[in-house]
């Protein structure tokens, strides 16, 4: 069990919590990019203290004359002191010279300006996409001093993502929900969750009315079964049709995405979604700095702002990099299957061809790409 | 050049008119300003904190703002019930009232736009919707249709009365050839704004409570009842406080319009209730929630059970000629009808659309103080705008302000 106190539900029964490794700009969690060695990193204070110690050291106790004349000095220490004083001098120059600091502020203002008046991501060409992603990464670095990696990777050809959910296997552990929240940088204060797990009573069929999607007890509960819902990435999504500014659309690989910077926050898409697949940032979303996932995609888990819509993207930052969404990876029972519908050898295709699959509210003509099946 | 000079004179004279008045007028305007300031303060909190200061949630994502917006579109559309008889059917009995009706439409539309902006998560990026520099998802999104029809109707309702008043200000008669085509267009446009607003909800297959072919027609019927009812009340007030002469027969004729619309509205209500409760399906749950509550959740019961009796009572009172022709009864009936339709078409329509949610979750909605503050502020704004427009129009019509060529 995770011993950290979280605001969102955490029922990690028997789930091994990965030790968070130091993350770096390259997105890898294990060595290789060079910025991973924690012990090498020292803070500015430590550096200054060290530099001063190196240059004057025990001379603090001596008076002026002694300091100048009574100095034990080898060639090695003389060199060390020289370097240290140079560094201190350089630091002093850089801080006293406001031109440099002004450049940062100017750059930040420039980025903010360009971000405020940029166009709709859907209509951008690849260069413009890259430009906005670069701006956002630089802006994050300027604000927090930390690097993130943000991708603007487009949909690949011959890829159409689909998802299948095995109702027989799901035990309601909610590891998928935890993994999703952590992966996608969702607001911790409002406990926003893309996935809802509905606890249903045996013998009542798929009776959502009597199901509970907000349980806080040990699972699997006697006489119940579980069914998860999230955005179904419809082929004919009603939410996309109604958006007055085309801030949400269906990508070529079937993902229904939102441009958080283009959304005006009218919430019409939310009213239009028959699957409760969309979430709104009612206040400024907050994620503790140390919990932020730095491996981001423009259309996926980058930081949102208040007053915009967001939703499940099948973890676009992972799926387009050839990985499974976080919920699929986290599921301890193997109830979740994700893959390319156009690949005849994919597991998802095997499920669709060999299992009795069904979808929710098919009568609405939305053509979800999310199927349910049982063993 | 001369037109420009006249325009300058009109601006100066109307400013003069609206800043002078009786003590009661000043108290009225001062009170409205005070309420608007409170509303602006509440809105500033909402801007700062986000929409989390309202009662809305992911489960019920539209609330008081959109409810009032929907209702006020109807009030705006109701001006057509005066425009059509006056300009198209040439019924001189409506002539005095029509300018007031159009002023009311302008005020209602301004309130509509204010409510929509108040409901937006990102009002600072609303330029994304402007064609040319933004992306306007027309014709796919009904919201873009609504933007077009609302702004177009606002334009029509500003320009037509402005032209007429501008001519009268110079002591000339307005040329029918100029404004009648606009007036005829505005008749169709009025029906358009309300149908389009209904389609906004009607087109959502996700919400069975709204996805109902009667929604549009019922919007029109209730609008043509509530809007003229408000116009009658306003005319009654104007008659009492100003020298503007509105004849009894004008009010009686508008009363007739209200009556017919209220009767049709009641028939449609019965039709809806029959469909929901005679053979209830899964899709009737929202109606059950609205009228009887579901699983002990019954926040809307007091509202709807206030609205329905008021609605029926008003319609019955209006139906009998003897009662309707008694002005005291007429004003009372108009007032309760207005309140009833405000509840029914605001709260009673928008909130149950979200309850139960797509998977049957019943999460209730209660507006917060800040939300109510903003709402009252916007209503005060509407009243403020209307007072200014009406006072200027009345003084021009009475010949109190006239262009003097100095």
DSSP-assigned states of every residue in A78-145: HHHHHHHHHHHHHHHHHHH-HHHHHHHHHHHHHHHHHHHT---GGG--HHHHHHHHHHHHHHHHHHHS
Domain-located, residue B402: no
Domain-located, residue B123: yes
Q: What pLDDT does A99 receive?
A: 53
d(CA B327, CA B252): 9
**Residue B131, strand partner residues:** B134
Of B122, B207, B357, the CB nearest to A308: B122
Q: Distance from CA of residue B47 to its chain's centroid?
A: 25
Residue A372 token pair = 């349910």
Residues of chain A short of pLDDT 50, as ranges, are 1-7, 11-40, 59, 68
Residue A334 token pair = 């193997």
pLDDT tens digits in sequence order for chain B, 406 residues long: 788 999 999 999 999 999 999 999 999 999 999 999 999 999 999 999 999 999 999 999 999 999 999 999 999 998 888 888 888 888 888 887 888 999 999 999 999 999 999 999 999 999 999 988 999 999 999 999 999 999 999 999 999 999 999 999 999 998 988 988 999 999 999 999 999 999 999 999 999 999 999 999 999 999 999 999 999 999 999 999 888 888 899 999 999 999 999 999 999 999 999 999 999 999 999 999 999 999 999 999 999 999 999 999 999 999 999 999 999 999 999 999 999 999 999 989 999 999 999 999 999 999 999 999 999 999 999 999 999 999 999 999 998 888 886 5
Q: Say which residues have a Cβ less than 8 Å from residue B387's Cβ, sequence separation at least 6.
A: B18, B28, B29, B32
Q: Which residue of B has its CA nearest to A119?
A: B134
Q: Which residue of B has its CA nearest to A247?
A: B135
> Which 8-state DSSP code applies to residue A212?
B
Of B50, B57, B360, the CB nearest to A209: B360
Taking a contact as any Cβ pair under 8 Å apart, which residues of chain B between 18 and 57 contact chain A? 49-52, 54, 56-57
Q: What pLDDT does A88 receive?
A: 62
CB distance A215 to A324 below 8 Å = no
Nearest CA-CA distance, residue B269 and chain A, Å: 24
Residue A284 token pair = 């400024």
ipTM (interface predicted TM)? 0.93
Provide the residue range defining the domain that includes B146. 9-397
Strand A161-166, strand A370-373: pairing: parallel
Nearest CA-CA distance, residue B60 and chain A, Å: 9
Strand A248-250, strand A256-258: pairing: antiparallel
- Of A134, A143, A148, A132, the C-alpha closest to A26 is A148
In chain A, count of helices (H) and strands (E)? 11, 11
Q: What pLDDT does B123 receive?
A: 93
Q: Tell me which chain A residues have a C-beta less than 8 angstroms from the C-beta of B119.
A: 266-267
d(CA B294, CA B280): 14
- Of B91, B197, B164, the C-alpha closest to B393 is B164
Q: What pLDDT does B206 receive?
A: 94
> Which 8-state DSSP code applies to residue A210?
G
Residue whose pair of structure tokens reads 């603090």 in the numeric block: A60
Residue whose pair of structure tokens reads 């500033």 in the numeric block: B44
Q: What is the H or E stretch that residue A234 is in?
A: none
Q: Which residue of B has its CA nearest to A190?
A: B52
Interchain CB distance below 8 Å, B121 and A308: yes
Q: Which residue of A has its CA nearest to B45?
A: A283
- Of A168, A162, A128, the C-alpha closest to A262 is A128
Residue B396 token pair = 């021009």
Handedness of CA B220, B226, B229, B231 (dihedral sign): negative
Residue B356 touches partner A, C-beta closer than 8 Å: yes
Residue B62 touches partner A, C-beta closer than 8 Å: yes
For the domain made up of A161-373, give the CATH fold: Alpha-Beta Plaits (3.30.70)
The number of folded domains in chain B is 1
- Of B82, B227, B229, the C-alpha closest to B160 is B82
Q: What pLDDT does A104 receive?
A: 85
CA distances from A257 to A192, A263, A278, A301, A360 (A): 17, 11, 11, 11, 20
When scoring B66, B117, B135, B294 by the number of chain A Cβ atoms within 10 A, the one with the most, hence best to mutate, is: B135
Interchain CB distance below 8 Å, A274 and B206: yes
DSSP-assigned states of every residue in B341-382: HHHHHTHHHHHHHTSS-TTS--------HHHHHHHHHHHHHH
Q: Tell me which chain A residues have a C-beta less than 8 angstroms from the C-beta of B147.
A: 244
> Which 8-state DSSP code applies to residue A267?
-
Q: What pLDDT does A90 receive?
A: 59
Exposure of B43 in the CB half-sphere (CA atoms within 13 A): 22
Residue B61 touches partner A, C-beta closer than 8 Å: yes
d(CA B361, CA A210): 9
Q: Tell me which chain B residues have a C-beta less than 8 angstroms from the C-beta of A370.
A: none
Could you tell me the residue ranges of all domains in chain A? 39-96, 97-147, 161-373
- Of B192, B166, B161, the C-alpha closest to B95 is B161
CB distance B241 to B24 below 8 Å = yes
Q: Tell me which chain A residues have a C-beta less than 8 angstroms from the C-beta of B286.
A: none
Residue B406 token pair = 């100095």
**How many CB pairs below 8 Å do chains A and B form together?**
135
Domain-located, residue B28: yes
Interchain CB distance below 8 Å, B129 and A244: yes
Of B122, B125, B141, the CB nearest to A242: B141
d(CA A330, CA A23): 20
Interchain CB distance below 8 Å, A282 and B51: yes
Domain-located, residue B403: no
Model confidence pLDDT, tens digit, residues A191-225? 999 999 999 999 999 999 889 998 999 989 999 99
> Which 8-state DSSP code applies to residue A18?
P
CB distance B149 to B192 below 8 Å = yes
In the predicted model, what is the mean pLDDT of chain B?
93
Taking a contact as any Cβ pair under 8 Å apart, which residues of chain B between 121 and 140 contact chain A? 121-122, 125-126, 128-129, 134-137, 140
Q: What pLDDT does A72 receive?
A: 54
Interchain CB distance below 8 Å, B354 and A209: no
Q: Tell me which chain A residues have a C-beta less than 8 angstroms from the C-beta of B57.
A: 282
- Of A255, A252, A257, A237, the C-alpha closest to A361 is A237
Interchain CB distance below 8 Å, B136 and A280: no
CA distances from A347 to A139, A266, A343 (A): 40, 38, 9
What CATH number should be reported for the domain holding residue B242? 1.20.1630.10
Q: Over the range B164-183, which residues count as b (16 or more CB within 10 Å of their CB) and which as e?
A: bbbbbbeeeebeeeebeebb
């Amino acid at each position: 069990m995770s011993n950290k106190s979280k605001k969102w539900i955490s029922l990690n029964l028997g789930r091994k919590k990965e030790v968070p490794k130091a993350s770096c700009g390259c997105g890898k969690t294990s060595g290789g990019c060079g910025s991973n060695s924690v012990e090498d990193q020292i803070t500015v204070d430590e550096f200054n203290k060290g530099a001063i110690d190196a240059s004057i050291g025990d001379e603090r106790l001596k008076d002026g004359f002694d300091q100048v004349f009574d100095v034990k000095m080898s060639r090695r220490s003389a060199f060390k002191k020289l370097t240290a004083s140079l560094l201190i001098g350089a630091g002093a120059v850089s801080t006293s010279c406001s031109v440099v600091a002004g450049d940062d502020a100017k750059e930040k203002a420039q980025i903010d300006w360009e971000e405020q008046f940029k166009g709709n991501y859907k209509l951008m060409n690849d260069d413009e996409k890259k430009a906005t992603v670069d701006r956002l990464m630089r802006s994050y670095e300027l604000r927090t001093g930390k690097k993130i990696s943000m991708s603007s990777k487009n949909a690949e050809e011959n890829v159409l993502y689909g998802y299948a959910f095995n109702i027989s296997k799901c035990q309601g552990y909610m590891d998928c929900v935890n993994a999703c929240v952590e992966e996608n940088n969702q607001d911790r204060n409002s406990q926003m969750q893309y996935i809802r797990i509905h606890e249903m009573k045996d013998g009542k069929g798929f009776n959502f009315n009597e199901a509970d999607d907000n349980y806080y007890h040990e699972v699997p509960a006697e006489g119940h079964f579980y069914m998860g819902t999230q955005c179904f990435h419809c082929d004919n999504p009603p939410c996309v049709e109604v958006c007055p500014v085309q801030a949400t659309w269906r990508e070529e690989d079937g993902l229904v995405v939102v441009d958080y910077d283009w959304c005006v926050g009218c919430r019409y898409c939310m009213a239009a979604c028959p699957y409760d697949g969309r979430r709104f940032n009612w206040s400024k979303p907050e994620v503790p700095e140390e919990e932020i996932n730095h491996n981001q995609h423009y259309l996926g888990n980058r930081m949102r702002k208040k007053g915009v819509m967001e939703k499940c993207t099948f973890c676009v930052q992972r799926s387009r990099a050839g990985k499974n969404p976080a919920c699929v990876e986290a599921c301890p029972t193997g109830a979740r299957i994700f893959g390319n519908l156009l690949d005849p050898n994919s597991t998802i295709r095997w499920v669709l061809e060999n299992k009795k699959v069904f979808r929710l509210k098919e009568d609405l003509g939305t053509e979800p790409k999310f199927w349910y099946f049982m063993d | 050049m001369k037109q420009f000079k006249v325009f300058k004179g009109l601006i100066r004279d109307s400013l003069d008119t609206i800043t002078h008045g009786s003590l009661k007028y000043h108290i009225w305007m001062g009170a409205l300003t005070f309420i608007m300031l409170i509303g602006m303060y509440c809105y500033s909190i909402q801007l700062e904190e986000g929409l989390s200061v309202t009662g809305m949630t992911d489960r019920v994502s539209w609330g008081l703002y959109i409810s009032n917006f929907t209702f006020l579109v109807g009030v705006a559309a109701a001006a057509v019930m005066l425009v059509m008889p006056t300009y198209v059917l040439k019924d001189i009995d409506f002539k005095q009232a029509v300018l007031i009706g159009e002023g009311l439409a302008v005020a209602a539309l301004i309130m509509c736009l204010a409510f929509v902006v108040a409901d937006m998560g990102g009002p600072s990026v609303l330029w994304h919707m402007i064609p040319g520099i933004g992306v306007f998802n027309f014709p796919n999104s009904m919201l873009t249709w609504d933007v077009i029809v609302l702004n177009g109707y606002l334009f029509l309702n500003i320009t037509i009365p402005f032209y007429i008043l501008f001519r009268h200000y110079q002591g000339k008669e307005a040329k029918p050839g100029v404004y009648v085509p606009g007036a005829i267009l505005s008749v169709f446009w009025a029906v358009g704004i309300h149908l389009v607003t209904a389609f906004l909800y009607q087109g959502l297959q996700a919400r069975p409570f709204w996805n109902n072919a009667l929604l549009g027609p019922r919007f029109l019927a209730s609008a043509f009842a509530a809007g003229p009812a408000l116009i009658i009340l306003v005319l009654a007030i104007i008659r009492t406080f100003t020298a503007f002469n509105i004849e009894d027969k004008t009010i009686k004729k508008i009363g007739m319009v209200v009556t017919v619309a209220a009767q049709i509205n009641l028939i449609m209500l019965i039709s809806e209730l029959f469909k929901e409760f005679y053979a209830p399906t899964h899709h009737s749950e929202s109606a059950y929630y609205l009228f009887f509550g579901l699983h002990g959740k019954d926040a809307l019961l007091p509202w709807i059970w206030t609205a329905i009796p008021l609605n029926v009572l008003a319609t019955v009172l209006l139906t009998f000629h003897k009662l309707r022709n008694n002005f005291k009864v007429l004003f009372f009936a108009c007032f309760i009808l207005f309140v009833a339709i405000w509840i029914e078409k605001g709260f009673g329509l928008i909130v149950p659309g979200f309850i139960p949610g797509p998977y049957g979750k019943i999460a209730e909605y209660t507006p917060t103080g800040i939300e109510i503050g903003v709402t009252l502020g916007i209503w005060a704004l509407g009243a403020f705008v209307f007072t200014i427009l009406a006072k200027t129009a009345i003084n021009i019509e009475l010949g109190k302000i006239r262009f003097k060529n100095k």
